[in-house]
Amino acid sequence: MTSTARMSGRTTAVAILAVLLLVVAGAPAARAGEWMQVSCVNPNGTAAPFLGWTGSNTGTPEFGSNDNVACAPGSPMVANLSAQLQPAPGDANEILTYTPPAGSTLVGGTMNVTLYGGGSGTAATGVAGLHEPAFKPDDADRFLVCAKILAPCQNGTYTWSGTAALPANRDGNLIAAASCAGADALAGNTCTTGQDANDNFASVDIYSADLLLQTTPCPRARGSRAPRWSPGPAG
Band the pLDDT of 2: cuts 50, 70, 90. Answer: very low
Domain membership flag for residue 129: yes
pLDDT the model gives residue 32: 63
Domain membership flag for residue 70: yes
pLDDT the model gives residue 219: 54
Q: Is 228 exposed, middle or buried (0-12, 13-18, 19+ CB in 10 A)?
A: exposed
pLDDT for 142 beyond 70:
yes
Asked if 159 and 116 count as a contact pair (C-beta separation under 8 A), the reply is yes
Please name the residues in contact with 102: beta carbons below 8 A apart, sequence gap of 6 or more: none
Domain membership flag for residue 97: yes
Q: Is 193 exposed, middle or buried (0-12, 13-18, 19+ CB in 10 A)?
A: middle
CA pair distance 198, 114, nearest whole angstrom: 13
pLDDT the model gives residue 171: 87
Pairing of strands 159-165, 34-39: unpaired
Question: Nearest-CA neighbor of 208 among 36, 16, 57, 90?
Answer: 36
Question: Nearest-CA neighbor of 121 among 168, 173, 161, 179?
Answer: 179
pLDDT for 19 beyond 60:
no
pLDDT the model gives residue 136: 87
Domain membership flag for residue 228: no
Q: Is 56 exposed, middle or buried (0-12, 13-18, 19+ CB in 10 A)?
A: middle
Domain membership flag for residue 109: yes
Domain membership flag for residue 48: yes
Domain count across the chain: 1
pLDDT for 14 beyond 60:
no
Q: Which residue range is the domain that position 175 belongs to?
A: 35-208
**Quick one: average pLDDT of 38-63?**
96
Question: Nearest-CA neighbor of 108 among 37, 45, 157, 160?
Answer: 37
In percent, the amount of the chain with pLDDT more than 70 equals 78
**Quick one: average pLDDT of 47-62?**
96
Band the pLDDT of 137: cuts 50, 70, 90. Answer: confident
Greater pLDDT, 184 or 55: 55
**How do the residues of the chain divide into helix, strand and coil, expressed in percent and rounded to 5?**
10, 45, 45
Domain membership flag for residue 111: yes
Sign of the dihedral through C-alpha 134, 139, 143, 147 = positive
In percent, the amount of the chain with pLDDT more than 90 equals 70
Band the pLDDT of 225: cuts 50, 70, 90. Answer: very low
pLDDT for 157 beyond 50:
yes
Average predicted confidence (pLDDT) for the chain = 83
0.85 exceeded by pTM: no
pLDDT for 60 beyond 50:
yes
In the chain, how long is the greatest CA-to-CA distance?
96
Domain membership flag for residue 88: yes
